[in-house]
Amino acid sequence: MYDSKAITSIYLDTRRVKTDDTYPVKLRVTFQRKRKYYSILKESLSTEDFHKVMADKPRGNLRSIRYKLDEAKHDADEVIKNLKTFSFDKFEQDYFESTNGSDDVFSYYDAYIAEVKAEGRINTAESYTYSKKSLQKFCNCNTLDFDRITASFLEKYEKAMIKKGKSLTTIGIYLRCLRTIVNVALKKGLASTYPFGKGNNHYTIKNPPARKIALTTDELILIFNYDAFETKTENYFVDLWKFSYLCCGMNVKDMCNLKYSEIVRDKIYYKREKTKRSNYNGKEIIIPVSKEIKAILDKWGQKPKEPISYVFPILKRNLTPEQFEANIKQVTKQIIKYINRVAQKVGIEVRVYTYTARHSYATHLMRHGAPTLFISKQLGHSNMKTTASYLENFEERQINKWQSKVTDFNL
């Protein structure tokens, strides 16, 4: 005999393994032996983490994931309770309306922005806010139906943004945000067509190659040999740039987050903040503490060296997500300011950024013949294509060098 009432449960969909050996988490609704599955969580989980999330007292980030899952299940149960006669079509209509409130594009933006803010992803929230405002100005409206998002609409938007002086990189960021919103709506049946992709009646987001300039060996020598610092502040921020370079191009957020507990037996063990959320099982980057790294740690590291203490005096505990991001942005600006002061003093003509340390690290190792696989691992890349883009400038120089030999007849 069939059940007269639909039953909900949280389900780890092990039918679909991802490249990092994690699985999607879904809401499973069962009615009269028929089951349907609904995506309710952006993160994917390993089997181990899923069991931890569903345990009695999950900890840390897993606790917030559990809260979202419980909330999704509660909302589904409430919808089912209020249905006079259950059907999957009626359930989906009421459930997705109750969880989002509207089928308007900008309402979905608002819901998504609120979600990522709650997760502490302030930079992501800002990107979606700028994307939303840009679309509102383009449409000159505060509501937008998903059916209006067509390939033609997107082409017109791109042309309008270029006319306003926006770069293809910025336009791409805004449209990737919109693409995510459309994907969410598509899963909920609110978008009837998918305008992104290749081919007729589809729009392809432009992805211009970024200019990644690595410093030459001579330029790196000039920076590392410079010691005529005008102030202690200048010395400090230039040393932070050097620390990034020495530590496999560690980015500013990771430097700020570095704690003494991650330095064990003359090695630094850390996971990139950029990939923690999308890859719970990501491998640690291991960096031997060289004499140069040790000198910077001894000079600027906080005392005493408590395991829970941040290495550098940049962040404090109990900061709000907004304060956290503001501190990192300020430190980044200061590093760029002072490294360029020194660069100008020693005659380096190109502008130096925090990410220049990362590209220079990768390129300098390639000059010494380090395997691309090793460089990729130390950079924390998930695929070799990303690493290859860091080394393009090096390869271009080698092409020019060897091409010049075609007229060198002195064998």
Sign of CA dihedral 350, 351, 353, 355: negative
The more confidently predicted of residues 97 and 356 is: 356
pLDDT recorded at residue 115? 82
Lowest mean pLDDT among 187-196, 226-235, 238-247: 187-196
Q: In the predicted model, is pLDDT for residue 318 greater than 60?
A: yes
Q: What is the mean pLDDT of residues 375-404?
A: 63
Mean pLDDT of the residues in the chain: 84
The side-by-side arrangement of strands in the sheet containing 34-45 is 7-12, 23-31, 34-45
Cα–Cα distance between 406 and 411 in angstroms, integer? 11
Q: Report the C-alpha gap between 246 and 256 in whole angstroms.
A: 15
Q: Between the CA of residue 75 and those of 105, 124, 250, what are the distances in Å?
A: 22, 26, 42
* Lowest-pLDDT choice from 156-170, 182-196, 294-308: 182-196
The closest of 143, 142, 130, 214 to 177, measured between CA atoms, is 130
Q: What is the mean pLDDT of residues 391-407?
A: 54
Residue 101, pLDDT score: 45
CB atoms within 10 A of CB 140: 6
Instruction: Determine the pLDDT at residue 391.
Output: 61
Measuring CA to CA, how many Å separate 46 from each of 12, 19, 24, 276, 380?
A: 9, 11, 9, 13, 20
Give 181's DSSP letter: H
d(CA 20, CA 180): 21
| Residue 327 pLDDT exceeds 70 | yes
Burial class (CB in 10 A: 0-12, 13-18, 19+), 157: buried
* Mean pLDDT of all residues in 157-163: 95
**225 has pLDDT over 70:** yes
Q: What is the pLDDT of residue 191?
A: 67
Lowest mean pLDDT among 43-47, 155-159, 218-222: 43-47
Whether residue 132 has pLDDT greater than 90: yes
Min mean pLDDT across 29-38, 127-136, 166-175 is at: 29-38
Task: Name the residue among 165, 173, 106, 162 with its Cα closest to residue 136.
Answer: 106
Q: What is the pLDDT of residue 178?
A: 95
The answer to whether 74 touches 67, Cβ cutoff 8 Å, is: no
pLDDT of residue 97: 59
